Amino acid sequence: MRFIMIFTGVVLFVVGLLSMVTPIPGGTLAMTVGVGMIICASKRATDLIKKNRSTYHRLNRSMTWLENKMGERFSRALRTTRPDELPLITETGGGV
């Protein structure tokens, strides 16, 4: 079952990518559902996407945009890949 979800997710993602350059609508939805299926089926994929989102800010902005566009149901899986917030480091004037 896990293999079927990953395979279907990859197919949906590729179809979404291809439809982004054609006049066929729905590419964003297909890509989001595909990535969501992959994330739900594989902890390794979730960790990889989370790491890449924290490294590549443009990817993080794009994924956040997709989260906002897709609504609650579809964006739930994408939100699990949000990078952890880094603590705010401030300089103090004196000794700690």
- Residue 66 confidence (pLDDT): 80
CA distances 24 to 18, 19, 66, 74, Å, are: 9, 6, 18, 20
For 13, phi then psi, to 5°, come to -65, -45
Parse the chain into domains and list their residue ranges. 2-79
How many CA within 13 A on the CB side of residue 86? Answer: 5
CA distance 21 to 84: 33
Structure tokens at 5: 């979800």
Q: What is the pTM of this model?
A: 0.68
pLDDT band at 59 (very low <50, low <70, confident <90, very high): confident
Q: Is the pLDDT of residue 45 over 70?
A: yes
- Tens of pLDDT, residue by residue over 2-30, are 899 999 999 998 998 888 888 777 787 88
